[in-house]
A and B are shown apart, each in its own frame.
Chain A
Amino acid sequence: MKVLTGMLTRLGRASLFLGKVMAGIPQLFLRFGLVVKQVYSVGVQTLFITLVAGLFVGMVLALQLYYTLSTFGATDTLGMLVDLSLVRELGPVVAALLFAGRAGSALTAEIGLMKATEQLSGLEMMAVDPVERIIAPRFLAGVISMPLLAAMFSAIGILGAYSVGVDLLGVDAGAFWSQIQAKVDFYEDVLNGVIKSFVFGCIVSWIAVFEGYDCIPTSEGVARATTRTVVYSSLAVLAMDFVLTAIMYN
């Protein structure tokens, strides 16, 4: 019972916190430099891991599907299958998991350490709202970066599948692209994937900044908060993915 009320209290606090962060976002358009700086540390620095992971996921998908499809003589549909699985599911989800591990944990640790070294209360002493100045730019940067990263993940995954499927395994290049262009719908598949990654971006950034802001201001507390960010946001992304898929493709 005590655990349950504790969890519900935390959830309520997180929701109120999200409201405060949202309220701080409009002022950011006057000082967009703050956001740009955060897009650098949240988005640009996650770029490398996302691109490499996307390339290999695409290549592995092409290999695996090729061997299954060749037993049915349907290897021409390889491109379409890889594209659909990347754009609909793997792109947004895996990019969000990587984002939680690379950027979410860094956000929590940074904010948590600011709290532990009393920089946040220092800002408050100077009548600067830390939520507006520190938290909101990081949250917005995460929301902006996530869809872009997921799109890059899918795009480079398709190129990886192309290099394995067409150059290595000998699928016809024309069939590869024509199957994709015939069967993959822009609104149904690509745009829904973008919506998914946007939602994941909101969730991961929310959890990351809240865990950092709410952590116990000791070195152990920061460590725990960082772990919680990765665990909670990974679970939330996977659970939310199920809900979104059920809504979008029923």
Chain B
Amino acid sequence: MLRSIELSVGIFVGIGLAALFMLAMQASNLSSFTSDGAYQVSARFDNIGGLKVKSAVKVSGVKVGQVAEIDYDNETFEAVVVMNIDEKFDKFPRDTIASIFTSGLLGEQYIGLEPGGDDKLLANQSEIRHTQSAMVLEQLIGQFLFSKSKENK
């Protein structure tokens, strides 16, 4: 009797831990990206829009890393974004362009990298020099209305 109780308790605890493991590995982001095995690259933007820590870094639509840190430089009045990029993808040229895009009309923002043509590669702790800020919808609408009213004159 006691042995069968012990066995069923063992099965119970086993299933419970398996469920926790499944929640951790399959039903959350724990397995998708880890910061070890990644190298860091920074970039400066005039405006980062709604970019957040852990936002995706994509090349050609493929996720290669995520934003690790966002800071503001008091001297140059720019936002400094540090990203972790998976070391599998370590062949980006030095003149790669980093732009902030929005996925879909109302989706979240991510950093899109466009590889350039330089022979030298981006190394750990290096900086991406060519950047393009986030599009701010209000500014775009403002510019559109402004140019429209000019046309009508």
The reply to whether A40 and B30 contact each other, CB–CB distance below 8 Å, is no
Q: Which of chain A's residues has its CB closest to B12's CB? A: A44
The reply to whether A190 and B12 contact each other, CB–CB distance below 8 Å, is no
A83 to B26, CA, bound (A): 11
Decide yes or no: A184 and B28 within 8 Å by CB, A155-B19, A194-B20 being known contacts. Answer: yes
Decide yes or no: A36 and B5 within 8 Å by CB, A44-B12, A148-B12 being known contacts. Answer: yes
The reply to whether B22 and A155 contact each other, CB–CB distance below 8 Å, is yes
Question: Which residue of A39, A177, A194 contacts B26 across the interface (Cβ within 8 Å)?
Answer: A177
A180 to B29, CA, bound (A): 8
User: A116 an interface residue at 8 Å Cβ cutoff?
Assistant: no
- Shortest distance in angstroms between B104's beta carbon and chain A's nearest beta carbon? 10
- Shortest distance in angstroms between B117's beta carbon and chain A's nearest beta carbon? 32
The reply to whether B6 and A148 contact each other, CB–CB distance below 8 Å, is no
A49 to B101, CA, bound (A): 47
- Shortest distance in angstroms between A71's beta carbon and chain B's nearest beta carbon? 16
User: B141 an interface residue at 8 Å Cβ cutoff?
Assistant: no
Decide yes or no: A181 and B31 within 8 Å by CB, A155-B22, A156-B19 being known contacts. Answer: yes
The reply to whether B9 and A36 contact each other, CB–CB distance below 8 Å, is yes
The reply to whether B28 and A185 contact each other, CB–CB distance below 8 Å, is yes
**Majority-rule SS of A interface residues:** helix
Q: Which of chain A's residues has its CB closest to B4's CB? A: A40
User: A25 an interface residue at 8 Å Cβ cutoff?
Assistant: no
Proximity bits, A195-215, B CB within 8 Å = 1, else 0: 000000000000000000000
The reply to whether B12 and A43 contact each other, CB–CB distance below 8 Å, is yes
Proximity bits, A22-59, B CB within 8 Å = 1, else 0: 00000000000100110110011001000000000000
User: A152 an interface residue at 8 Å Cβ cutoff?
Assistant: yes
- Shortest distance in angstroms between A33's beta carbon and chain B's nearest beta carbon? 8
The reply to whether B27 and A190 contact each other, CB–CB distance below 8 Å, is yes
A113 to B86, CA, bound (A): 62
User: B35 an interface residue at 8 Å Cβ cutoff?
Assistant: no
Contacts of A177 in B (CB 8 A): 26
A110 to B40, CA, bound (A): 60
Contacts of B13 in A (CB 8 A): 39, 148
Q: Which of chain B's residues has its CB closest to A189's CB? A: B28
The reply to whether A37 and B5 contact each other, CB–CB distance below 8 Å, is yes
22 example contacts (A-B, Cβ-Cβ < 8 A) are as follows A36-B6, A37-B5, A39-B9, A39-B13, A40-B12, A44-B9, A44-B11, A44-B12, A47-B12, A47-B15, A83-B28, A149-B16, A152-B19, A177-B26, A181-B27, A181-B28, A181-B31, A184-B27, A185-B28, A186-B24, A190-B24, A194-B20
Interface residues of A (CB under 8 A from B): 33, 36-37, 39-40, 43-44, 47, 83, 87, 145, 147-149, 151-152, 154-156, 158, 177, 180-186, 189-190, 194
In the complex, the 7 A-B pairs of residues with the closest C-beta atoms, listed nearest first = A148-B16, A155-B19, A186-B30, A151-B19, A186-B28, A152-B19, A151-B20
List 14 extra interface pairs beyond A36-B6, A40-B12, A151-B16, CB under 8 A. Answer: A40-B8, A148-B12, A148-B16, A151-B19, A151-B23, A152-B19, A154-B23, A180-B27, A181-B27, A181-B31, A182-B29, A185-B28, A186-B24, A186-B28
